[in-house]
Amino acid sequence: MVSNQLIANLKNVSFDYAPSVQVLHNFSWEVNAHESWSIIGPSGCGKTTLLYLLTGLLFPSQGKIEIEGTPLKGPRETTGLVLQDRGLLPWSTVSENIALGLRIRNFGKEQIKEKVQLWLSKLGIEGLGNRYPNQISGGQRQRVALARTLILDPDLLLMDEPFTGLDAITSESLYEVSLDLGITNGLSSIIITHDINEALRLSKKILVLPNKASNRPVIIQNPAGGLREYPETSEFQNMRLKLRQAIKL
């Protein structure tokens, strides 16, 4: 897939939870392959709704959504989703949770074991494979959720506030893991966040959704996103101000 090929294309999309509750109105948006995006905006602006529309779990009341040029009619095998609550199975071990998608797709036992061990190592959670989710920390559970999604080699990664509720040190370590895994450089990724610093650090493009569906969204270009030294620069501080102003529009 070439870098300028569209992976997601939303054309004049509207979505209503009820006749009087319109979340998106005539919304159009293009995401190229290998781009990293954050979506930010006030509560109730439609961030999570937009993510679920992209997964095929919700459908627009009007308009069309295409993924890789094909109309989206339901969930795709190659779209990865990481939820805010992690969605881990409490009765399954860490290794079993990571292997869930592989088992559903009928991978062989030895192949599953090899892949799980690889991702336990990549996410820095070796030695935790036999523990259960309630026996590990919140940051470790989020690493398990990332491993369970990335082990399936998605071509589109969707993340719904994946670092919410974690302490600053844990979030910082997960930002580093995300950069190491290429979430900013290489993967086609879309992250829902309410954190301005997170949006700037993890994405090269930022979609600001307005608090009213009838208002126009704003796109912020953030080319330094993903650079480890970026948060220490004056450019980062200037971009924080620009993004704050955009959110208030």
pLDDT reported for residue 213:
64
Map out the domains of the chain as residue ranges.
1-76+188-249
Return the pLDDT at 13: 95
Average confidence (pLDDT) per 10 residues, the chain, 249 residues:
74 86 89 94 87 93 94 92 80 93 90 92 88 90 89 90 79 81 79 92 93 82 92 94 87
Alpha carbons within 13 A on the beta-carbon side of 59: 6
pLDDT for residue 115: 92
Cα 172 from chain centroid? 17
**What is the pTM (predicted TM-score) of this model?**
0.88
pLDDT of residue 214: 65
> Cβ distance 31 to 7 under 8 Å?
yes
| DSSP code string of the chain | --TTSEEEEEEEEEEEEETTEEEEEEEEEEEETT-EEEEE-STTSSHHHHHHHHHTSS--SEEEEEETTEE--S--TTEEEE-TT----TTS-HHHHHHHHHHHTT--HHHHHHHHHHHHHHTT-TT-TTS-GGGS-HHHHHHHHHHHHHTT--SEEEEESTTTT--HHHHHHHHHHHHHTTTTTTS-EEEE-S-HHHHHHH-SEEEE--SSTTSPPEEEE-TTTT-TTGGGSHHHHHHHHHHHHHHH-
Predicted pLDDT of residue 184:
67
Q: What is the C-alpha to C-alpha distance for residues 122 and 192, in angstroms, rounded to an integer?
A: 23
| Predicted local distance difference test score (pLDDT) of residue 2 | 41
Residue 63: per-residue pLDDT: 95
Q: What angle do CA 54, 138, 145 make, to 5 degrees?
A: 35
Domain 1-76+188-249 part of CATH 3.40.50.300? yes
| pLDDT computed for residue 176 by the predictor | 83
Residue 1: the pLDDT is: 38
Residue with tokens 């290998």: 34
Phi, then psi, of 177 in degrees rounded to 5: -60, -45
